[in-house]
Structure 1
Amino acid sequence: MSKKQSVEPQIADLGNGWLKTYHLDYKLEQGSLNEEIDNALSEYASKSGGKGGNRPDCKLLLQDSNLDYYPVLIEYKGYKDKLAKLNVNGIPILKKSNNDDDYKTINNYAVNGAIHYAKALLQYTSYEHVIAIGMTGYEDEGGMLQHEIGVYYVSGKNFAFGQKAGDYTDFSFLKKENFDAFIKKLQSLNLTQEARLLAKEERETEITSRLVRLNNDIYKNEHGLGESARVYLVAASIIANLGIKGKVRPLEKSDLKCSPEKGNRDGDIMLRKIDTFLSEKNVPEDKKNLIIESFSEKLLTNSNINKPINGETQLKRVFSKVIDDLGLYYKIGLTTDFTGKLFNEMYNWLGFTQDKLNDVVLTPTYVASLLARLARVNMDSYVWDFATGSAGLLVASMNIMMDDAKKKIKSPEELQKKIIHIKANQLLGLEILPEIYMLAILNMILMGDGSSNILNRDSLKDFEGNYGFVHTNDKFPATAFVLNPPYSASGNGMVFVEKALSMMHSGYAAIIIQNSAGSGKATTYNQEILKHSTLLASIKMPLDLFVGKSSVQTNIYVFQVGLPHEADSVVKFIDFTNDGYTRTNRKKASTNLRDTDHAKERYTEVVNLVKFGKKKLHYLKETDYYEGTIDPAKGDDWNQSAPIDTRPTLDDFKKTVGDYLAWEVSNILKNDAEGEQRLGK
């Protein structure tokens, strides 16, 4: 049987005819809306997987009454059942199970193709919200043209996944008099908690594969770029490409001219853009200069990377690869997840093999949040971290502080002032490794902050407790300490804890550390800590917490600072090895972390147990919680478990007697049966 002929021309004529009757200014496949959109469609991979050449069948740029612009991209098809291909959650499919782009689906289905175009605009333009429309149809048995329409909203709000806007039979929702109501409907759309989690997990998986691909590409094809250079170049490229709406235009590939002229080389252009960006972010001048100098000295003024070869510099080529592979993810609201994945992958790039460096491990975001909550962080806290890594613990603390402020401050003006103060004055982190320090700076910038005190210093040798920028003569009034130290440091890292807590007057601290620190590896430091701080809790964490990175047993220790530990001080020992999460380390898994037993509730329960005691037990078992004491003079008895009572109870006695009588009766019956059988013979 011959394949039915496509009715796409009739469908396109029908759709475009509606737009004409609505007096809307639409452009067809070869038409141009504006240079920005044209460039984005040209830069993005085509529907068939090639470079560029994206041409929606129809496109519009509409404006609502608030003068905000919304690109509208329409894709027509001419076969029945070619409107959209959805996954089990109702989200249009753009990826295969192995995370490669599913170009066959993108090419064959109208909605999927339109969303593919929309992602190009989110990645390469300043537009943050795009309307993707698919329309297809067929001729029924009577020769009548039938059609169906799929309307989807694509934005950072839904992580660039298509979210269905509703059911429509024509395009009249785009009419000027109807458009405001339609936009209001889009703004009210929210992903369910489950869909949001699945969307984030899928994007996280994509980020990892993109980073691996980028690293392999640079390693194989960009000679002369060492491990550190790759990190600096990626960080510089992202900062230059971020932009600030209405103030700083993102650096684009076309801005790099590959000129050999000093002052106008690609590195010079990138440095100027970064300088402008940091200035508009109100980054303190001395901190801004430090960042610029780091980029300049390490990389961007290097003559080799700025030398045009065959009309292109290595800097432009790598910059292009970075924004092509990663641009979408730092523009659609995935900042925490993105920087976490970025740090983990870039740490692998650095190829650390020295013993003193090989334990730099990212704290999972949910553990970072737990530490901040255990340290009782609120909007008035002053939080510091003496081995900040990628600043994940400070980011978690900052989020909790801002959430608390939003709950408590009802004046929008006062709230904004408080948030600015939190970012500028209430966070401080120290990181000695320059490459990791630059990732911490990038992390804070991606989180919307450029003014926090992240310092490239040795917290043990080169820090006396002062602010690093602006208020450099003032002591940082720390009230909360969070830490995941390098375990190869003295006392498994307790050396950082002892110094930080000795510099605080009051407050709380929560650290995650190799648990041998509490059973003999850090005795001297622990003894000193207990002279000025009370151990409130010792929490045994899952062995596979850092699966794929480390398999050491860790504990979280929680302290009240400024109150010496007494012999009768009660310590809460919690066995949290079953935290409700199931972890795997499979590269092709859609997610390696699954909540299989009320994990979120269990983490909240641990916080409440530390604060309020046994009455908060619910998901954890009675045997998982124990209140005991330690000897302040020892420092090696911090890892205790609930004692097991070996004395037999009355119930034990009854059970033993019952089991014995049952055995005796069974033997008697068995012997009687055997006797009867012999007599029968």
Structure 2
Amino acid sequence: MTKNTVQSVEPNIADLVNGWLKSYKIDYKLEQENLNASIDKALDEYKSKQGGTGGNRPDCKLLAYDSYGTAYPVLIEYKGYKDRLVKLDENGNVAIKTSDNKNDYKNINSYAVNGAVHYANALLHYTDYEDIISIGVTGWKDESGKLQHEIGVYYVSGKNYGYGQEVAKYTDLSFLKKENFDSFVEKVKSLNLTEEEKNKSIEKREQEISSSLVKLNNDIYKNESGLGESARIYLVAASIIANLGIKGENPVKPLEKSDLKSSAEKGERDGDIMLRKINTFLTAKNVPEDKKNLIIQTFSEGLLTNENINKPINGESQLKRVFSKVIDDLGLYYKIGLTTDFTGRLFNEMYNWLGFTQDKLNDVVLTPSYVATFLARLARVNKDSYVWDFATGSAGLLVAAMNIMIDDAKANIKSPDEFKKKEAFIKANQLLGLEILPQVYMLAILNMILMGDGSSNILNKNSLTDFNGNYGFVRTTEKFPATAFVLNPPYSASGNGMVFVEKALSMMEKGYAAIIIQNSAGSGKAVEYNKKILKHSTLLASIKMPIDLFVGKSSVQTNVYVFRVGEAHQKDEIVRFIDFSNDGYTRTNRKKASINLRDTDNAKGRYEEVVNLVRFGKSKLKIFTEKEYYESTIDPENGADWNQSAPVDTKPTLQDFKKTVADYLAWEVSNLLKNQVVVDQDRSDGESMPEATRLGK
């Protein structure tokens, strides 16, 4: 019997499950009923299962409370056919997205769990709820006409990037009963993604972020006239900050689309409302007053207070329209707490639309997140490091360092209270970045706010002329005690950017540094800077990076240089030269590709090995060979001998001789065979040849 001739038993399943809930004395709401204002509004805002705007209606919804009074939204979806419980993608995630990052409405509409997880993402996006239970129930009648059912119970949160994790197998919903729910919550809390699952989820979400950013950029660029280059960046940053909100003792309600009324009354315009919300947010975040004023001034002057952007047309201002696009396209991603350089991706996408020349565009290319983590590890960053960056861009390197510092603190501090104090101290005191470009500076602040607010010491200054080594806000008379330096400098700067390195390292008393820079800096373009550096710091390693590392942005050959700071380089100091041209990743630059970076040759293992080689030497050789790893010395008075490679042995071996003889004999035999073919052809033409001629003698 085909599915088309099988009658759905969804009404029977609904009756069965609703009967359970009633027997558990649970206050549940059916499809057309309201649960609470925030959940109802979120479901209405989100795309419907069929792809329309809003109108999401789970078959059943409720709030379950643990013994501490914490509320967990529970969203239930029913289906009435066999094999319609859940559809998974190739990575084992609930399939709610297509390969091109669009909502997969076919799966969302056809499978019970997929629909429930889709609804849960609406709550992650538009409410403060962080932990949601998605339940799918489907059923069918067996050969005897008896109703059968199947249940899928999934936990959806920012911790699993909105894809959901199966909690356990259940035959009913009695885990929702008041006396059972605490045990269920403990089971949920014990769920952990494996490292592989976590990495796959992060990679998939990052691909979705890039796709959403492209869509947003296209929309603003094509449909929002009158917005200049800087205005587009500032509008996105302002919209995100206004929409973040704060939980806890001093909560700040996120600015919602409905809060913008598109009024023409001065003081009540959309820009006025947004500025007030941003000011409240920054105050609650304890952002220093002078820094807060700088941010407000940047957003207000000629932008949020601009008459044209606030002018209502057909009842809606351009500002409200752009704000709505930003939170609809990006809100889910910045609200689930991804530890990724979100604004680095935002920056690169936004700058695709800027009117820079190619040279200037190359000069502001940001470091891929995996390379940023690589540099931070090479600089030996840990929970007690003080890390600075003299050309911070969107703060991607500082984000990578901060994540490593917090992970190290979590691993070594067993008291939850002490860990929280250390985490706050890291964000407030152990990171410092300088960025001279105003647009990029604002993105750096946004990035650090999104990552938990390590923005305290992000400074809008020229690190070469306006920086004295002190903290930038509040503790302005105290030196920043830097012990780790990370950098991807603008290559147009003096010495290909080595001018930044020399200044930073000369201001440090001890520690380590890792920089990625155009490799010509180590072979003649920065001789004087290099010689100065070696008078107070030791070159530990020179790593040749893949030529296509910045594919689509820049095609220059780069090297990573690693230093120990505070010790002059000695002429007999061993330097580790590593050819990392094959880092295990395959890169493409196809705009329509869903993935432009693929791990095709154990990339993670290769990066791990290079970190170990730099620190411990050739004993860590496993994936690489001595063709890629070479130890030698440099002349501290040279400054142009930093890019060495393993020497090629040109002395022939016995094996080389045997191969040459074999190749010659093969050539002789080939010629003999060719001559024989000619002889046979001549014979077929009726001609005769002397024996000696035919045999090629």
Q: What TM-score, normalized by structure 2, do the two folds share?
A: 0.92
**1:195 offset after TM fit, Å?**
2.5
Q: Deviations over 1:164-216 (max 9, x none)?
A: 22222222121111111112112212223333222222222211121111111
Q: Distance in 2 between matches of 1:587 and 1:356?
A: 21
Judge conservation of contact 2:362–2:554 (CA < 8 Å) in 1.
Answer: no
Letter paired with 1:236: A
Tell me the residue number matched to 2:215.
213
Q: Deviations over 1:519-541 (max 9, x none)?
A: 11222222222222222211101
Judge conservation of contact 1:432–1:457 (CA < 8 Å) in 2.
Answer: yes
Q: Distance in 2 between matches of 1:416 and 1:101?
A: 37
**1:663 offset after TM fit, Å?**
8.8
Q: Does 1:269 align with 2:269?
A: no
Question: Which of 303, 309, 314 is the equivalent residue of 2:313?
Answer: 309
Tell me the residue number matched to 2:20.
18
Judge conservation of contact 1:281–1:450 (CA < 8 Å) in 2.
Answer: no
Letter paired with 2:527: T
Q: Deviations over 1:91-137 (max 9, x none)?
A: 22112232222212212222211111111111000111111112222
Question: Which of 163, 168, 187 is the equivalent residue of 1:161?
Answer: 163
Structure 1 residues 197 and 413: alpha-carbon distance in aligned structure 2, compared to 1, 3 A threshold: closer
Q: Distance in 1 between matches of 2:153 and 2:223?
A: 42
Moved over 4 A (4+): 649-672, 674-679
Tell me the residue number matched to 2:202.
200
Structure 1 residues 389 and 431: alpha-carbon distance in aligned structure 2, compared to 1, 3 A threshold: same
Q: What TM-score, normalized by structure 1, do the two folds share?
A: 0.94
Structure 1 residues 632 and 9: alpha-carbon distance in aligned structure 2, compared to 1, 3 A threshold: same
Structure 1 residues 382 and 211: alpha-carbon distance in aligned structure 2, compared to 1, 3 A threshold: same
Q: Distance in 1 between matches of 2:268 and 2:669?
A: 98
Tell me the residue number matched to 1:555.
559
Tell me the residue number matched to 1:291.
295
Q: Distance in 1 between matches of 2:635 and 2:90?
A: 57
Q: Distance in 2 between matches of 1:497 and 1:29?
A: 62
Q: Distance in 2 between matches of 1:526 and 1:341?
A: 32
Alignment of 1:321-340 (within 5 A): 321-340=325-344
Q: Distance in 2 between matches of 1:332 and 1:106?
A: 21
Tell me the residue number matched to 2:686.
none
Tell me the residue number matched to 1:567.
571
**1:385 offset after TM fit, Å?**
0.8
Judge conservation of contact 1:232–1:298 (CA < 8 Å) in 2.
Answer: no
Question: Which of 501, 507, 514 is the equivalent residue of 1:503?
Answer: 507
Q: Does 1:415 align with 2:419?
A: yes
Q: Deviations over 1:477-508 (max 9, x none)?
A: 22221110111222211121122222222222
**1:4 offset after TM fit, Å?**
2.8
Tell me the residue number matched to 2:606.
602
5+ residue gaps in structure 1? none
Q: Distance in 2 between matches of 1:651 and 1:478?
A: 54
Question: Which of 146, 149, 152 is the equivalent residue of 2:151?
Answer: 149
Q: Distance in 1 between matches of 2:573 and 2:561?
A: 15
Q: Distance in 1 between matches of 2:667 and 2:108?
A: 70
Which deviates more from structure 2 when the two are superposed, residues 572-581 or residues 590-599? 590-599
Tell me the residue number matched to 1:527.
531
Tell me the residue number matched to 1:119.
121
Question: Which of 235, 240, 255 is the equivalent residue of 2:259?
Answer: 255
Q: Deviations over 1:210-239 (max 9, x none)?
A: 111111111222222112111111111111
Alignment of 1:601-620 (within 5 A): 601-620=605-624
Letter paired with 1:201: E
Q: Distance in 1 between matches of 2:675 and 2:265?
A: 105
Structure 1 residues 273 and 461: alpha-carbon distance in aligned structure 2, compared to 1, 3 A threshold: same
Which deviates more from structure 2 when the two are superposed, residues 132-141 or residues 69-78? 132-141
Judge conservation of contact 1:581–1:594 (CA < 8 Å) in 2.
Answer: yes
Structure 1 residues 445 and 631: alpha-carbon distance in aligned structure 2, compared to 1, 3 A threshold: same
Question: Which of 375, 381, 401 is the equivalent residue of 1:397?
Answer: 401
Letter paired with 1:53: G
Q: Distance in 1 between matches of 2:87 and 2:606?
A: 38
Tell me the residue number matched to 2:645.
641
Judge conservation of contact 1:278–1:450 (CA < 8 Å) in 2.
Answer: no
Q: Deviations over 1:597-630 (max 9, x none)?
A: 3322222222222222222211111111111122
SS at match of 1:62: strand
Structure 1 residues 126 and 648: alpha-carbon distance in aligned structure 2, compared to 1, 3 A threshold: same
Q: Does 1:222 align with 2:224?
A: yes
SS at match of 1:263: coil
Which deviates more from structure 2 when the two are superposed, residues 592-601 or residues 324-333? 592-601
Judge conservation of contact 2:579–2:628 (CA < 8 Å) in 1.
Answer: yes
Q: Deviations over 1:407-442 (max 9, x none)?
A: 333343333333222222221111111111111001
Structure 1 residues 378 and 361: alpha-carbon distance in aligned structure 2, compared to 1, 3 A threshold: same
Question: Which of 453, 456, 469 is the equivalent residue of 2:460?
Answer: 456
Tell me the residue number matched to 2:430.
426
Letter paired with 1:595: D
**1:264 offset after TM fit, Å?**
2.4
Letter paired with 2:459: L
Q: Deviations over 1:387-422 (max 9, x none)?
A: 100101111111222222233333433333332222
Question: Which of 20, 23, 40 is the equivalent residue of 2:42?
Answer: 40
Q: Distance in 2 between matches of 1:665 and 1:138?
A: 75
Tell me the residue number matched to 2:58.
56
Tell me the residue number matched to 1:493.
497
Structure 1 residues 45 and 649: alpha-carbon distance in aligned structure 2, compared to 1, 3 A threshold: same
Tell me the residue number matched to 2:626.
622
Tell me the residue number matched to 2:441.
437
Q: Distance in 1 between matches of 2:411 and 2:652?
A: 53
Q: Does 1:514 align with 2:511?
A: no
**1:653 offset after TM fit, Å?**
5.4
**1:570 offset after TM fit, Å?**
2.1
Q: Distance in 2 between matches of 1:553 and 1:448?
A: 34
What's the RMSD between the two structures over aligned residues? 2.6
Structure 1 residues 273 and 570: alpha-carbon distance in aligned structure 2, compared to 1, 3 A threshold: same
SS at match of 2:186: helix
Q: Deviations over 1:6-56 (max 9, x none)?
A: 222222111111111111101111111111011101110111111111111
Letter paired with 1:153: Y
Tell me the residue number matched to 2:550.
546
Structure 1 residues 646 and 63: alpha-carbon distance in aligned structure 2, compared to 1, 3 A threshold: same
Q: Deviations over 1:122-153 (max 9, x none)?
A: 10001111111122222333332222222221
**1:566 offset after TM fit, Å?**
3.0
Which deviates more from structure 2 when the two are superposed, residues 186-195 or residues 453-462? 186-195
Judge conservation of contact 1:72–1:130 (CA < 8 Å) in 2.
Answer: yes
**1:245 offset after TM fit, Å?**
1.5
Letter paired with 2:95: I
Tell me the residue number matched to 1:187.
189
Letter paired with 1:619: I
Letter paired with 2:368: P
Q: Distance in 2 between matches of 1:138 and 1:555?
A: 62
Which deviates more from structure 2 when the two are superposed, residues 605-614 or residues 49-58? 605-614
Q: Distance in 2 between matches of 1:476 and 1:554?
A: 29
Structure 1 residues 643 and 179: alpha-carbon distance in aligned structure 2, compared to 1, 3 A threshold: same
Identity of aligned residues (%): 77
Judge conservation of contact 2:221–2:353 (CA < 8 Å) in 1.
Answer: no
Q: Distance in 2 between matches of 1:562 and 1:274?
A: 43
Alignment of 1:78-157 (within 5 A): 78-157=80-159
Q: Distance in 2 between matches of 1:380 and 1:150?
A: 44
